Structures are given as structure tokens and as C-alpha cells.
Amino acid sequence: MDLSQTIHRPVSDQGDVFWGNNASSGITSMTIQTVLLHPSIKGLVYWVLNQEETKSTRHALYNSPKPRGWGNPGGGVELIDSVNECGIPHSFEKTIASCARRELTDETGFTNFEFKRNSASGLAFTRYDDPYGHCVITLVAQLYDHVSLPIKEIEEIVCGSWFDFSISPIKLFQDTTDLPYWSHVRRTITIFHRLAQQTGDNDVVRAIHPLWNLVFPIITQDPRFPQQGYLIPPPHWYHIMRIYITRRVHALDLDCIYEYLRPQIEEKRRQENDRRPPQKKSNVPDPYLSYTYQPSLRPSDCYHVSEQERRITEYEQDYRRWAEKYISAT
């Protein structure tokens, strides 16, 4: 299971900055990740293959070792990132930039890149704060050339590679047992959308293969699914991906998802119906009564890309409830 893609190294062991339980921000640890963009080809990002960790993290939310998997380069903020040579603290933005640059170079070897600025919040393009004081911030960097140094973190990183989000993830991972981290996929796609909003260039967003979007709520007219959408929990997402890979499924297959997650989907739909106020009777025919399920639904019928940003808050709340429920059950 991959709840650990935002793991920081234990403070006492690795020297990460400890923000303190009494800090006004409530942050006790922080991870900085970077979405690294290709020098010339749109929609390509550079991911690194992380080794499986040998010991569990002390973080309350992630009680198992980080599994092997592909994801954005990054790591925990360390003391060297937060102060200068005289011990004077850096600004928050300089701290996260210093950490991102150090981790990016150490894990990829690349040195000639520049961080993009988010018009809304400086360098940070996404930020997630979990219930236990851990914060994950994602930056965006534009690579200018492929000149690189030897990778320093050879104990943690197996290799790196470019990934094209216009290609089916099933095709990209069909010959390997290694999968990308669920949350890294989601953050990368979210950043593609925010870059599109900032620049007005939607080419990358339009080209994203629909199977990548399974990390977001499924919005479909299929009456078997909740009308407000169904978010596949991370552990089940990995299993769905492996089923798709085994069957060589390169198009959205709602039958497969419903078959595997039927109890959870029906429970979500029941909860949705319980919350819905009674509707007045109408002479207008109910479109669902005459609806025939089409297994060849176009991706645009199943995902409303424009709704993804509006669902961020709702999604994070669902994910937090799911994570807390998972912890109490283990």
C-alpha cells in the first residue's frame, strides 16, 4: 500500500527540520517534491524509482515502510536548507527552494533547471497538510538540458526516467512490477492543470490519457456509481492498475472497477442517497430509467477535468477519513 509517498526521514535520525508541536503553523515535519518538466517535449515529467525502505517511519499516518515505486524527486527539509552559513534562518520560500534543489540534484543528477512560480502562492504549486502535522509541498522545475552529475542518493534511488502522460500507464508499466505512487500521479496531474490555468495552454491537459485520471473521483452517468463521483482508495487503485496490466486494458473499463469494488461503491451510493433530500414528483421522464450502460463511454463522459480543482477540498477530506479509518482497522 502506498500511503507513504509523502514520508519524511525521521527527525532524530536524518536531521530534518523539526518545526515543533508548539509552532504556530502546527507543522512538525515537511517534505518537498518537484515535478521536473522536459526541456523540449510537453507533457513529459522525470520520475525516479525509489528503493523500498527497510524500516517503518515514525509518522503516525504511515505505519509501514515506504514501498518501491516511481515518483517525483524530493525529500525532507533539513537544517542545511533552512539556515545560511552564519546560522541565520532563511525565509520559508528560500528554505523550500533550497531543499527542492538539493533533493532534485542528488536524486537525478540534473543541475541546469529553474523553478517556476505559481502566480497564486509563490513557488509552491500544491500543498497538503495531514492530520498529524506533516506537510507536503510540490514545486515545478523546468529542465534546460540533459547534462547531469552522478546520482548521490544511490542507496535510495534505483534510476530515473521520463514519463509521457499522453501514453496509457498500462503500456508504460506493463513490463515491470514497479508502479508509480498514487499521490505523485495526482499531484503531477493537478500541477498540469494549474500550469494550464496560468499559461492558457491546455495542450498537455487535453492529451492526458484518461487512465491516469483514475486517481481522481470517477464522474460518470453510469447509474451503478454515485452521482457525485467515486474516488478509488489508494490500495485499491494499485490493484486496479495490476488488473488492467494483466488484462492489457488501455481504455476505461467501468465494469472492471465495479466488479472489484462493488460493495464499496454501493455503500458510497447508499450514503449519497441518504443525504439527498426527497425530491418532488415530476412528469419529466427520469433519464436514468431509460439509460443503457455503454461500456465504450468516451473519457470526456466520465471525467470533468474542469471540476478537479473544485473537488480538491472534498477529495482531501474523503482521503483523510479513509486514512484514519484504515489506521484504526490495522
DSSP string, 69-132: EEE--EEE-BHHHHB-TTSPBPPHHHHHHHHHHHHHHHHH-B--EEE--BTTTBT-SEEEE-TT
Asked whether residue 288 is domain-assigned, the answer is: no
- Domain ranges, residue 113: 1-164
Task: Answer left, alpha or beta for residue 22, where phi above 0 means left and psi between -120 and 50 means alpha.
Answer: alpha
* Mean pLDDT computed over 109-114: 96
In a domain, 41, yes or no: yes
Q: Is the sign of the CA dihedral 326, 277, 313, 170 positive or negative?
A: positive
Residue 59 counted as domain residue: yes
Separation of alpha carbons 323 and 131, rounded Å: 10
In a domain, 111, yes or no: yes
The whole-angstrom separation of Cα 182 and Cα 62 is 14
Q: What is the per-residue pLDDT for 29?
A: 85
Summarize pLDDT for 15-51 with one digit per residue, the tens.
334 343 334 456 778 999 999 999 999 999 999 999 9
Q: Is 315 in contact with 231 (CB distance < 8 Å)?
A: yes
Q: Chain centroid to CA 242: how far?
A: 18
Kindly report, residue by residue over 207-252, the tens digit of the pLDDT. Answer: 999 999 999 999 999 999 999 999 999 999 999 999 999 999 999 9
- Name the more confident of 57 and 294: 57
pLDDT at position 121? 66
Q: Is residue 191 part of a domain?
A: no
User: In angstroms, rounded to a whole number, what is the distance separating the alpha carbons of residues 49 and 181?
Assistant: 10
H or E segment and range at residue 159? strand 157-164
Q: How many C-beta atoms surround the C-beta of residue 308 within 10 A?
A: 19
Q: What is the pLDDT of residue 16?
A: 39
63 within some domain: yes
pLDDT tens-digit series, residues 62-104: 567 789 999 999 999 998 898 888 888 888 899 999 999 999 9
What's the confidence (pLDDT) of residue 129?
A: 87
Asked whether residue 221 is domain-assigned, the answer is no
Domain count, the chain: 1
Helix (DSSP H) and strand (DSSP E) numbers for the chain = 10, 8
What CATH number is associated with residue 144? 3.90.79.10
Query: What pTM, to 2 d.p., does this model score?
Result: 0.75
DSSP string, 37-79: EPSS-TTEEEEEEEPPPSS----TT--SPPPSEEE--EEE-BH
Cα separation of 289 and 245, whole Å? 34
* pLDDT at position 112 over 60: yes
Assigned domain for 296 exists: no
How is 255-288 classified by DSSP, letter by letter? HHHHHHHHHHHHHHHHHHHHHSPPPPP-SSPPTT
